[in-house]
Amino acid sequence: MKFIQESLHKAHNILNHDFCPWANRWVYWTKHPLACLTAAAIVSGSCGLFVNPVGFAILGAILLVGALGAAWPWICSRGLTAEAEFIQTRCRLGESVLVQLRITNRYPWPAWGLSIRRGFHNGVDESQGIALARVKGWSDTEFEWVFTPPSRGVFPQGLPQVDTAFPFGIWQAFVPIELKSELVVWPESVSLDAMPDIVEIQTREDKLTDRRCGDTGEMIGIRPYREGDSLRQVHWIQTARTGNLIVMERQSPATCAVRLLVDVDHSRHSFHPARNSLEQTLSIAASILESLHRNHAFVELQVHEQLIPIGNSFGDLRRGLDALARVPADGVRCDHACHFDHPTRCLPTIVVTTDLALHHHRTHPHVSRGERYIVVKANDEEKDASLPKQEDCDCHSWLDISSNDVLRDVLPDRWRKACHVQ
């Protein structure tokens, strides 16, 4: 039995192997139904001309079938209108969203062979799509399906359309889908439980943090009494137990500010499918942004020429993540000196960039040495000898991440170590 299975498997591989891939462009057109009809029409016409006039009747039938197959999709599509809506307008990469589609058929006959192959997929494989059941005549039909975005960005990508080639697949007709909403897919992010030592610009009693000790909020620990400590902070139970004065450490009312620069310049990234440094950069930026927001920090997010102030509200955070999601898949092409190199405020700065950009930073002496650089190694396998070594650059790497690393496995630990959290 095993021998038979192996033999069948080998036979299947041989029969499905492409021995002449160079000739595909010359023969693939024969797969189209119109090629078969054309060949049949030529043969039947030749037979009618040289053999028997009955061949002309067959030729007429073939032409009628071809005309009907080409015209029917157009006729059917004239009576259809479609509109779609995402149940929720934002999600994260990897999450699924429910999509509702409503198709109205104004004709008395049903519409068959409907599918959606544009707008909801990346367009690499034309065979991908969503097949729909028939739409009855004089009816409004609703469809629902679960859509899992294949990438970060804004969906649909391009104009979504319902297409049909029923009955013979000779010609496709398209019906545009009217969208009531769009779906913004945020970059993948991981939870970070630490904060870097950034400068405070204000204190507020309604925003507390356990990163520094203070006199308000919840208790975060105890320690021995030091001269100058208030007696109101004495932990009397622990004092009675140990015989020495023990004081409580509480949260501190502090709100910090930081500037987060995200390098999205096309020339500074690698777009290899296995190590896309732009997507890795955006994911790191989204993780840091959410971590700082959870700790009530004020963040000034800069993405290319956009400068987005993000305070304590969720709406501010949503605007920042939307800006990261809307970055083009191939980055931003800067024809001039990018805003990335020109700070606007004297704030502590975290720069998320790549090793391909280190040389660029080196040539701009106005970049502050106090900035902290998170460097995504975009060119791990093919190092460019023209790039300077990291230690020769004016901007020292604060945290290194490879473009093919799994963030959830490496970023939390490296971030915690970089923030000096024990």
**% of the chain beyond a pLDDT of 90:** 36
Pairing mode of beta strands 349-354, 372-377: parallel
Distance (Å, rounded) from C-alpha 354 to C-alpha 350? 13
For residue range 96-107, list pLDDT tens digits in order.
Answer: 999 999 999 999
Bigger pLDDT: 286 vs 296: 286
Left if phi > 0, otherwise alpha if psi is -120 to 50, otherwise beta: which for 98?
beta
Bigger pLDDT: 275 vs 186: 186
Q: Write a three-state SS string for 342-403.
A: CCCCCCCEEEEEEHHHHHHHHCCCCCCCCCEEEEEECCCCCCCCCCCCHHHCCCCEEEEEEC
For 115, 196, 370, the CA distances from 367, given in Å and listed in that order, are 53, 20, 9
53 Cβ neighbours under 8 A, 6+ residues apart? none
Under the banding of pLDDT at 50, 70 and 90, the label for residue 213 is low
Angle between the N-to-C axes of helices 54-78 and 33-50, in degrees from 0 to 180, rounded to the nearest 10:
150
- Read off φ and ψ for residue 347, nearest 5 degrees: -115, 150
Q: Which of 82-91, 196-205, 291-300 has the least mean pLDDT?
A: 196-205
| pLDDT value of residue 304 | 86
If you average pLDDT over residues 45-68, what whole number do you get?
A: 91
**Mean pLDDT value across the chain:** 82
Asked whether residue 123 carries a pLDDT value surpassing 70, the answer given is no
Asked whether residue 38 carries a pLDDT value surpassing 80, the answer given is yes
Q: Which domains does the chain have, with CATH numbers?
A: 77-186 (2.60.40.10), 212-252 (no CATH), 255-418 (3.40.50)
Distance (Å, rounded) from C-alpha 171 to C-alpha 113? 12
Q: Which of 84-98, 100-114, 144-158, 385-399 has the least mean pLDDT?
A: 385-399
For residue range 341-379, list pLDDT tens digits in order.
Answer: 544 456 788 999 988 877 655 434 344 445 788 989 876
376: nearest Cα among 346, 398, 347, 408: 398
| pLDDT value of residue 365 | 39
